[in-house]
Amino acid sequence: MERLTALAIEAALKAGKEIMTVFNSDDFGVRLKSDDSPLTEADLKSHQIIESFLKPTNIPVLSEEGEELSYEVRKDWTRLWIVDPLDGTKEFVKRSGEFTVNIALIENQKPVMGVVFAPYLGSLYWGDENGAFKSDLQSDWVQLSSSLIEELEVQSLPLSSPDVMTVVASVSHFSKETESFVNALKEIEGEVNLVSRGSSLKMCLVAEGSAHIYPRLGPTMEWDTAAGQAVIEAAGGQLFDWRTKESMLYNREDLLNGWFLATGKGVKTDDFWLL
């Protein structure tokens, strides 16, 4: 396993362990950020752990819970980490298990490596130049030693795909536009299976082949998608910026993503843009 990929995996696992400690406590320490989105003690502790792992690489870190950095500071970065210490905080607060740790490595605005870890579910995904992979950890993974990475049982992605066109969508952000997209897709496909998931698990389902497409017809941030896009692309799929019809780019002046469409390996997109 490549050094930086292994480092990101270890950081995600250690952060996940701390997240589960908070998850199993009586008080999440929830407060609201300026945009009214929730922030918990788990977000902050996860950020601190991940930063401690990534800082020695001397690659700058852009994290949702880190220092707010202007474009003037970031514009010349050709290589950076993009991190969401706890993606799906709303699901975390609701005590749903559908939250993740997201760590991505960006080179020349493209995600070249990504790690997505769902600590409650024990589902670990990663992708880099060697391909995309998944490991289902044992339920007692938090008790295992740091040698866990070497002991992982790994599956290459994608796995098998369902016969029926399957669309994955957000649990907390299912927009009217997404509903219209799905209804229009039914006119083409005849039958469409709609699956709802939280956090970047949606992109992981596309990467593994459990879902064919993930239309996000609403806003997200760069740290919401960078790691998941890396996994999808390493698995042979794509994540398109809806406006440009090209792969989503990162470390932009505006960190707010526009609409996008994620597709699994072998899924043709020609008809989707017309819906």
Q: Identify which of 32-36, 184-188, 214-218 has the greatest average pLDDT.
A: 214-218
CATH 3.40.190.80-classified regions of the chain: 165-274
Residue 147 banded pLDDT, cuts 50, 70, 90: low
**Tens digit of each residue's pLDDT (9 = 90 or more) over 55-83:** 999 999 999 989 899 999 999 999 999 99
Averaged confidence pLDDT in the chain: 90
CATH 3.30.540.10 residue spans of the chain: 3-157
Q: Distance between CA 262 and CA 247 in Å, rounded?
A: 10
Cα distance between residue 11 and residue 106, in whole Å? 17
How far is 275 from 272, CA to CA, in rounded Å? 6
CATH fold of 165-274 reads: D-Maltodextrin-Binding Protein; domain 2 (3.40.190)
Phi first, then psi: give them for residue 256, nearest 5 degrees: -80, 120
Contact criterion met (CB below 8 Å) for 147 and 129 = no
Average of per-residue pLDDT across 31-50 = 77
> In 177-259, which ranges are E strands?
192-197, 213-216, 220-221, 238-241, 256-257
Q: What is the pTM of this model?
A: 0.93
Say if residues 126 and 116 touch (Cβ distance below 8 Å): yes
Class of CATH domain 3-157:
alpha beta
Is residue 273 pLDDT above 90, yes or no?
no
pLDDT digits (tens, 9 = 90+) for 231-249: 999 999 999 999 999 999 9
* Torsion sign (Cα): 86, 216, 130, 249: negative
Task: Tell me the pLDDT tens digit for each residue of 84-140.
Answer: 999 988 888 888 889 999 999 999 999 999 999 999 999 999 999 999 999 998 766
Percent with pLDDT over 90 in the chain:
67
